[in-house]
Amino acid sequence: MSNLFSPIKVGAYDLSHRVVLAPMTRLRTNQPDDIPSKMMADFYGQRASRGGLEIVEGVSISITARSYLGAASFFHDGQVAGWKAVANAVHAKGGRVFMQLIHGGRQSHVEMTGGVAPLAPSVVPFEGVALTKNGFVPASPHRAIELEEIPGIIEEFRVAAQRAKDAGFDGVELHGANGYLVDQFIQDGSNKRTDAYGGPIENRVRFLREAVEALISVWGADRVGVRISPSGEWGDLSDSNPEATFSYVAKVLDGYKIAYLHVIEPRIKGDDTLHAGHPPVASSYLRPYFKGPIIAAGGFDRDGAQAIIEKGDADLVAFGRHFTSNPDLPYRLQHNLPLTPYVRAAFWGGDEKNYSDFPTYEEAQVA
């Protein structure tokens, strides 16, 4: 029987356990050029483990794709050394690291996009926010992407994927979740287009297909993952039939034979409250449509992670909050050791304090 600490092959890689570091926006780049900081390399290196998988926080593919001040991006040469340091830090511990690529779409502000209006599939009013030097502010009015602009955005995904490869990463994950651009194309609450990218789900998933194909052209399918959030509410996203929509998405992605499908479960609604009444969507309807490895994420503890893997509804579990304060989380989970409480106030922005200064269990015992 599979368990949280049994080996598994994910795409091109053999992993020794199934505890994954989830991508988390931590807002620690050096400004004004979004250069990965030394503390970011420290953070990812500390959380690496032999045979484990880490997914680096959403990395914007262009200046117009940015949503949050201090968030990661990779679109100019000045960022290369910083990202190489992150990859090297993970590899030094024997781990694997994928870079998550993102376009924020309408969830942005002109201060973050170089002065241009945020882009979206369609103009649909929403209550989104962006983070600027003035803090979280309402997103700027967005405009619909012109048909002839789409190939250029897809090319930005391809170039970013190549940059990640050149920096020494092991693969890339397409961020198709949480109400950002790819998700905005998929769901009919935000996609009102009447051309080849709107209307029926076959058209609304076209942007996703083209982005995935761009990443595969660089990496091959077995080094590409995709993250989705079928029940997500962030960014005022909605769909008239999410089960049908995301079942189709899963089936499409299965056809590419990508490394994994990363599913955010509907158990966390933006706070620390577990909504136990929401069953994992991986088990409820996605598993029959995607035959490759599924990573489940969203409010899991040790027992919950073990249970979903033993049941066979997911193959790996991504942890976020608990990984922030426990750099040796796989070790602690395997040996059922107490966890250091996370510090929510340090999640978004700041310095090394409560970010890269948490001790391992053994270090804490010595201290």
Q: Where are the domains of the chain?
A: 8-366
CATH numeric code, 8-366: 3.20.20.70
R_g of the chain computed on alpha carbons: 19
pLDDT of residue 280: 67
pTM: 0.95
Confidence at residue 278, expressed as pLDDT on a 0 to 100 scale = 56
Residue 179 contacts residue 235 (beta carbons within 8 Å): yes
Catalytic residue set: 180
Q: In whole angstroms, what is the distance from residue 222 CA to residue 116 CA? A: 36
Residues 6+ apart with CB under 8 A from 154: 207, 210, 211, 214
For the chain, count helices (H), then strands (E): 12, 14
What's the rounded Cα separation, in Å, for the pair 77 and 68?
20
Listed in sequence order, the DSSP H helices in the chain are 38-46, 80-92, 150-166, 181-186, 201-204, 206-219, 242-256, 281, 302-311, 321-325, 329-334, 361-366
Query: Rounded distance, CA 288 to CA 331, Å?
Result: 32
Which mean pLDDT values do the consecutive 10-residue runs of the chain (367 residues) have? 89 98 97 97 98 98 97 97 98 98 97 96 92 93 98 98 98 96 97 98 98 98 97 86 95 98 75 52 83 94 92 94 97 96 95 97 88
Nearest by Cα to 128 from 107, 109, 111, 110 = 107
Alpha-carbon distance 346 to 335, whole Å? 27
**Residue 236, class by beta-carbon neighbours within 10 Å (0-12 exposed, 13-18 middle, 19+ buried)?**
middle
Residue 279: per-residue pLDDT: 62
Q: What is the C-alpha to C-alpha distance for residues 233 and 72, in angstroms, rounded to an integer?
A: 23
SS3 218: helix
Handedness of CA 189, 191, 195, 197 (dihedral sign): negative
**Unique residue bearing structure tokens 């949280």:** 4
- Residue type at position 262: H
Cis before 288 (ω within 30): no
